[in-house]
Amino acid sequence: MENQNKVYQEVAEECSQYCPCGCDHSVKNVSTGDDTKAPSCLNCKHFSVSEQHCQLDLYDQIVTNL
């Protein structure tokens, strides 16, 4: 799951449609003790947590280019 969280963060950083929803599903940088929420697909309003995919269908396009 840790690798998937890293991918979600990298995708969100590259996504032109990333829009934080205010949900508390975000990844936090535990290694540095920084509690600031990092960009992540998990806290984007376009990501369906229950279905585990981007509703805009941008995820696969971005992952392919990473």
pLDDT averages per 10-residue partition of the chain, 66 residues: 84 92 56 62 88 88 89
Answer yes or no: is 26 within a domain. Answer: no
What is the three-class DSSP state of 44?
strand
Q: How far apart are CA 53 and CA 51, in angstroms?
A: 6
Q: Tally the domains of the chain.
A: 1
Quick one: pLDDT at residue 18?
92
Report angle CA 17, 30, 41 to the nearest 5 degrees.
20
Answer yes or no: is 11 within a domain. Answer: yes
The pair of structure tokens assigned to 31 is 């290694």
Quick one: pLDDT at residue 33?
47
- List the domain range (segments joined by +) for residue 39: 1-21+32-63
Quick one: pLDDT at residue 46?
92
Answer yes or no: is 13 within a domain. Answer: yes
What is the three-class DSSP state of 15?
coil
